[in-house]
Chains A and B, each alone.
Chain A
Amino acid sequence: SAVISQKPSRDICQRGTSLTIQCQVDSQVTMMFWYRQQPGQSLTLIATANQGSEATYESGFVIDKFPISRPNLTFSTLTVSNMSPEDSSIYLCSVEARSEETQYFGPGTRLLVL
């Protein structure tokens, strides 16, 4: 399985500011995914990030609010822009796991917006 790290692990931010979350994986992967998980809730896919192409966003998520970069096959960033308290959540990145036709998840970034 892949080893995935995220930075920061947690942060407290003021409304109106932006936070960039980094995701690093220890092997080259084609597909990386970004999810949001609000407290006590399930995981919701924000976008799929493939290296060399624009990220594909799910319904309800837009690039202006959640810009994503994917500069190479082992790294991606998600920015949460112009934050409001409603953005308080856990943000998770994941990568494809071709052998199991599924995904492995990073440890998550716990964001609190005041």
Chain B
Amino acid sequence: GQSLEQPSEVTAVEGAIVQINCTYQTSGFYGLSWYQQHDGGAPTFLSYNALDGLEETGRFSSFLSRSDSYGYLLLQELQMKDSASYFCAVVGAGSYQLTFGKGTKLSVIP
């Protein structure tokens, strides 16, 4: 089976940098995805890592270490609109199936 661990809540100041960690245990691993979900909204795809290293997309970056079964999402220059829940999800080998972590609720404060 699959299990993922991420912090339940994080609070950060507008303009700052925040890192949301995700560790996973899985029987089959193809990659790690990150999703953002605002209250009342649908999950929105942010990034995907299949290989070790850092992927950068604007203010958001995602990192993966397959040997450590660990990844993180880095949000820079935080804005109030970044307040949302962030989910890491393991992509299962060969099936595109996703197993989600419990989510991290990010609160950005002035």
The complex places the Cα of A48 from the Cα of B92 at a distance, in Å, of 13
CA of A96 to CA of B102, assembled, Å: 21
Cβ contact within 8 Å between B102 and A41 = yes
What number of B residues sit within 8 Å (CB to CB) of A?
23
Contact of A101 among B44, B96, B99 (CB under 8 A): B96
Say which one of A12-20, A62-70, A77-85, A105-113 lies at the interface with B.
Answer: A105-113
Identify whether the interface residues of A are mostly helix, strand, loop, or mixed.
Answer: strand
- Minimum CB–CB distance for B16 against chain A, Å: 25
Which of B33, B44, B97, B103 makes the CB contact (< 8 A) with A42? Answer: B103
Cβ of A57 < 8 Å from any Cβ of B?
Answer: no
Contact assessment for A43 and B100 in the assembled complex, using a CB-CB cutoff below 8 Å? yes
Cα of A18 to Cα of B41 in the assembled complex, Å: 24
